[in-house]
Amino acid sequence: MRIVNPSFGLREEAGNLTGPAVCAVADWSRDPIAIVSNSKPNARELLEGVRAQMGAFRPTDNIDYLFKDSAAQPAPAELIDEIARKYKGAILALAD
Amino acid sequence: MIEDMDSETIEVGDLDPAQWNEYANDRGWSDGFPLAVPTQEAVDRFLQTCRKDNAPFAPMSPRLLVPTMPAIAANAVMAGCRAEYFPVVVAAVRAVLDPAYNLHGTLATTHPCAQLLIVSGPLRGQLDINCTGNCFGQGRRANATIGRALQLTLLNIGGARPGEMDRATQGSPAKYAFCFGENEEESPWEPYHVRRGFDAGDSVVTAFASEPPHNINDHASTSGEGILQTIAGTISQTGANVLGGHGPYVVVIGPEHAHTIHRDGWTIPDIQEKLFEDSAVHISRVPPEKRKNYAVDRSAKVVNDKFYLTCSPEGIHILVAGGPGKHSAYIPTFGSTEACSVRISNV
């Protein structure tokens, strides 16, 4: 018996990619980093707690809190661009 | 395994129905119910109903693979559809792929939203889509299998597997299938799809990322005002995802309620305006921690000390469905989503 694969799909062409992305490695002991809230309840409290604990081994005045407007929507491109431009690393609140 | 441009076939051996279902279940293709076998012959019959539909599909979240007609048809076959339902399934797929629908968010969320499909227009009768008694419930093949076909497509092509990319805390029974038709014949108002800009002769599917229906019982009120007060009271809940103006939501008015409301002179814009105001939740009913979260992180606007459930009265979608009896229904949505309508094109 031969069946049509119900999970089949096509990969979209990545037309503009010219090679592997080059990632700078962050120095978590001193580089500017972003703590980014997914805007779920208490995400800010969680991330502020992480920042406070990081104060034990690094300066915290270059750890900035950022957030997207809605937990249900993707982060806007401008926010992603800002994070990429200004910071060497980011910590995301991934769960509820 | 044989691949061509837009499909792949797999030799599965000589399986009886029980063995086939074990095979499909082992591959994660099942919603838990038995599946029909997506043979090439069955899929080809379905494809004949959409021969002229060559519009491309967008990538489908969360796997971001681009769906193909044969793969969608395979899911519709497995769901138990008749071939003539397939154009509705294809229109439904196009509706949820509209960027305004926010498919990724609706599939990956912890909220229990399912994909609600509302069918309007002449095809409802031709396909025997239930618009009357028990229209949200069991018993009609078209309702059950069209809704199921979309869910299987999102599972198998989209990759929205429960516990993996589908992160629903509890989910809902609507995630098996949630499809019904508008009861245009007993509606005193213009058909829903016509109010959305389509021709009366068009058949249209509208998709919402929605919760299951919440019943609204009012056997006592004999005025439109009274029935609408009961409807607004049922909608006004502190736990809704739409709290804070993130609508839309759907109100499905039963024919008897609709008759009374219309008799008393209420137009659709009148009803929308009344429900917009009267279903808003006063801040005193919202716990302080939740109020603070909405105010800080969700950009919700409190106006006159109330949280509004939609951005505007137009975010309240009203139509008639159901049979005899004094019941209506409130169908909340995920919130960060839009109603997306697609004209059904066949052959």
β-bridge partners, A12:
none
Tell me what pLDDT residue B72 has. Answer: 98
Specify if A21 maps to a domain: no
Q: Which residues, other chains included, contact A89 with Cβ-Cβ below 8 Å and sequence gap of 6+?
A: A26, A28, A31, A33, A34
The model's pLDDT over A24-35, given as tens digits with 9 standing for 90+, comes to 678 899 999 999
A10 shares contact with chain B (CB less than 8 Å):
yes
What does the block give as tokens for B285?
Answer: 């009913």
Specify if A71 maps to a domain: yes
Q: Which residues, other chains included, contact B172 with Cβ-Cβ below 8 Å and sequence gap of 6+?
A: B112, B113, B114, B211, B212
| A71–B102 C-beta distance less than 8 A | no
Residue A13: its chain B contacts at CB < 8 A?
A: none
Specify if A42 maps to a domain: yes
Buried b (16+ CB within 10 A) or exposed e, B244-265: bbbbbbbbbbbbbbbbbbbeee
Specify if A23 maps to a domain: no
- A76: containing domain: 33-92
Phi–psi pair at A16, nearest 5 degrees: -95, -5
Specify if A4 maps to a domain: no
| B74–A2 C-beta distance less than 8 A | no
Give me the residue spans of the domains in chain B. Answer: 15-343
| A74–B65 C-beta distance less than 8 A | no
Tell me what pLDDT residue A17 has. Answer: 41
Specify if A66 maps to a domain: yes
Q: Give the span between the Cα atoms of A93 and A79, in whole angstroms.
A: 15
Instruction: With beta carbons less than 8 A apart as the criterion, state whether B328 and B254 touch.
Output: yes
The model's pLDDT over A52-92, given as tens digits with 9 standing for 90+, comes to 999 999 999 999 999 887 788 888 889 999 999 999 999 98
**ipTM, interface predicted TM-score of the complex:** 0.93
The model's pLDDT over B319-328, given as tens digits with 9 standing for 90+, comes to 999 999 999 9
For residue B274, is pLDDT > 50? Answer: yes
For residue B2, is pLDDT > 70? Answer: no
CA B127 to chain centre: 18
For residue A18, is pLDDT > 50? Answer: no
Q: How many domains does chain A have?
A: 1
A96 shares contact with chain B (CB less than 8 Å):
yes
Closest alpha carbon to B87 in B96, B76, B103: B76
Q: Give the span between the Cα atoms of B7 and A8, in whole angstroms.
A: 6
What does the block give as tokens for A1?
Answer: 């018996």
A67 shares contact with chain B (CB less than 8 Å):
yes
| B298–A9 C-beta distance less than 8 A | no
What does the block give as tokens for A33?
Answer: 């980093």
The model's pLDDT over B195-228, given as tens digits with 9 standing for 90+, comes to 999 999 999 999 999 999 999 999 999 999 999 9
Specify if A52 maps to a domain: yes
